[in-house]
Amino acid sequence: MKKWGLAAVLILMIGTAVFLLSKPADTKIDKLVLTGSSTIAPLAAEIGKRFESLHSNVRVDVQTGGSSRGVSDAKAGLADIGMASRALKDDEKDLHSFTIALDGISMILNRANAVAALDKQQITAIYTGKITNWKDVGGNDAPITVVNKAEGRSTLELFLHYFGLKNTDVKPHVIIGDNQQGIKTVAGNPDAIGYVSVGAAEYEASQGAAIKLLPLDGIVASVATVRDRSFPLSRPLNLLTRNGPTGLAKAFIEFATSPQVHDLIEAEYFVPVQH
């Protein structure tokens, strides 16, 4: 019994060594490394798979870590291409950025809520706790449940920036992580208000989720208004390079900004950009 165990361990170790050394050396494989925003990562991985199927001997490796990581890795040259789910800040303008898709952020209410629209002041007042009942903004006599995003989400950053708020000003009742959780929370509570990605909300509403999208500054929240850039609360999903892209990185960026990947972008509930 003991001998068998030893033999098994030996075989495993030899197998590992063989596997380690068996990397095919005859075929030259070009590797493209992307790091950054976890929002873009699933989309970039899908685009990468399609890119690989068109170019043999190319591998696209996508790694996550957040938009800031995408920016710093692109700057330091640790990644061929960085990913950031926001526009570049002023001190990052030395990088080249390429927008592959847009993502809008929409205020959502439960479908049963009588309120049809809220202006900027009303939303600010609701999120800072100055208005706590729906009857103050033309709805039923019911307390408002404020749903906010968790710290560190770029959706939160964008929301706060647009409404000129600090996160410490916000008086939330529920704190959520991702879009799906936000949609489920508002769909299950007739008095809740929240904000999520437009594409995901529109898709879920069309699938029968009990939510409705509120217009912002009088502009309907939809994929269409995000696409024509009239919707005010949206962000670009960017690919970043240190210098002007060359070679494989250039080919990949051209592919990722071409109509050949629009179906992949829509499958992730983002909005393709017309170039």
Partner 1 sequence: MSKNALATGLICLVAVLVTSVFFWLLTDLVIHGLPRLSGPFFVEASQNAGRSGGIGPIIVSTALILLVAIVTSAPLGLATAVLLSEFTRPGSLFGRLVRRSLDVLAGVPSIVFGLFGNAFFCIYLGLGFSILSGGLTLACMVLPLLIRTAEQGLQVAPNDYRLAAAALGMSRSAALTHLLLPAAMPALVAALLLAIGRAGAETAALVFTSGYVDRMPDSLLDSGRALSVHIYDLSMNVAGGDANASAAALVLIGLLLIINTIAMSLAKQWRIATP
CA–CA distances in Å: residue 65 to residues 76, 82, 107, 219: 15, 10, 27, 34
Q: In this chain, which of 7, 11, 54, 61 binds partner 1, going by CB under 8 A?
A: 61
Tell me the closest approach of the beta carbon of residue 149 to partner 1, in angstroms.
13
CA distance 72 to 75: 5
Rounded to the nearest 10 degrees, the angle between the axes of helix 120-127 and helix 154-163 is 120
Please choose, out of 15-23, 96-104, 116-124, 129-137, the segment that lies near partner 1 by the rule CB under 8 A.
Answer: 15-23
Residue 157 binds partner 1, judged by CB under 8 A: no
Residue 89 binds partner 1, judged by CB under 8 A: no
Q: Pull the structure tokens for residue 270.
A: 């983002």
Strand pairing of 211-213 and 58-64?
Answer: unpaired
Q: In this chain, which of 11, 16, 130, 143 binds partner 1, going by CB under 8 A?
A: 16
CA distance 248 to 251: 5
Residues in region 19-58 near partner 1 by CB under 8 A: 19-20, 22-24, 33, 38-39, 41-43, 45-46
Residues in region 101-140 near partner 1 by CB under 8 A: none
Tell me the closest approach of the beta carbon of residue 25 to partner 1, in angstroms.
11
Tell me the closest approach of the beta carbon of residue 69 to partner 1, in angstroms.
9
Please choose, out of 98-106, 108-116, 174-182, 211-219, the segment that lies near partner 1 by the rule CB under 8 A.
Answer: 174-182
* Residue 104: strand, helix, or coil: strand
Tell me the closest approach of the beta carbon of residue 215 to partner 1, in angstroms.
23
Is residue 203 within a helix (H) or strand (E), and if so which, with residue range? helix 198-206
CA end-to-end distance (rounded Å), the chain: 68
Calculate the CA dihedral of residues 182, 188, 189, 192 and round it to 10 degrees. 20
* Closest of 275, 235, 239 to residue 44, by C-alpha: 239
136/178 with CB nearer partner 1: 178
* Closest of 237, 238, 192 to residue 211, by C-alpha: 192
Q: In this chain, which of 32, 62, 81, 176 binds partner 1, going by CB under 8 A?
A: 62
Residue 273 binds partner 1, judged by CB under 8 A: no
Tell me the closest approach of the beta carbon of residue 169 to partner 1, in angstroms.
26
12/116 with CB nearer partner 1: 12
| Residue 219: other Cβ atoms inside 10 A | 13
Residues in region 196-225 near partner 1 by CB under 8 A: 200, 203
39/134 with CB nearer partner 1: 39
Strand pairing of 30-36 and 81-84?
Answer: parallel
Instruction: List contacts with partner 1 (CB under 8 A).
Output: 1-2, 5, 12-13, 16, 19-20, 22-24, 33, 38-39, 41-43, 45-46, 59, 61-65, 78, 177-180, 200, 203, 267-269
